């Protein structure tokens, strides 16, 4: 598993280079790329998803991508 903030400049590099290297070293068959969305922009998230879809289309094994919305929001308990 690799975890990155969506605002990280290494988001694409982590998906394309780091995670495959970790998978190879650990001899894993499955992996997860966890993206913590911290900004309103989803440009880099969409770029990662596009790379994954292209690789899947070519028959490559790709990590499962999970996006968690970690943007700051007002507390629900304080809304009245």
Q: Return the pLDDT at 80.
A: 61
How far is CA 76 from each of CA 39, 49, 69, 70, 73, rounded to the nearest angstrom? 20, 31, 15, 15, 8
Q: Return the pLDDT at 60.
A: 87
d(CA 22, CA 73): 34
Closest CA to 33 of 53, 11, 50, 55: 11
- pTM equals 0.85
pLDDT tens over the chain, length 80 residues: 889 999 999 999 989 888 888 888 988 888 999 999 999 999 999 999 999 999 999 998 889 999 999 999 888 787 66
């Amino acid at each position: 598993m690799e975890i990155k903030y969506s605002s990280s400049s290494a988001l694409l590099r982590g998906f394309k280079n780091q995670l495959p290297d970790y998978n190879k070293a650990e001899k894993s068959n499955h992996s997860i790329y966890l993206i913590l969305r911290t900004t309103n922009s989803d440009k880099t998230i969409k770029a990662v998803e596009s790379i994954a879809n292209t690789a899947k289309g070519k028959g490559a094994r790709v990590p499962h991508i999970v996006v968690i919305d970690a943007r700051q929001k007002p507390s629900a308990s304080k809304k009245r």
